[in-house]
Structure 1
């Protein structure tokens, strides 16, 4: 395995890490994945859900199952 020398100036930085090529390539592949961008309707639904959560308008798991008709 080859030996490399890391300059002290570079090694002192807090954000310096060493990863294998395989890990680096996996990380770069993740960056290529398209990021989810919600539609206007989805943003509106999310805002409504957040308001409901703040005001305590939530259902327990069992209440949700009953409302959806999955209860026996």
Structure 2
């Protein structure tokens, strides 16, 4: 088994682990997906709160109706 010594100055007393690059990339990918799902869930929650408060407009049959509503 190969032994590697890493200076305490580099690690600043923190523990280190060695992970194959492919496994690390998979972990990062999963983490980013989870963060995206959390952000989406928070956006949906905020939108539902605004709907409950009546802060919605529409639906509109025509684009002109939407523009008129926004100009008010």
Provide the TM-score with structure 1 as the length reference: 0.35
Structure that is richer in helix per residue: 2
- In our comparison, the structure showing a higher alpha carbon Rg is 2
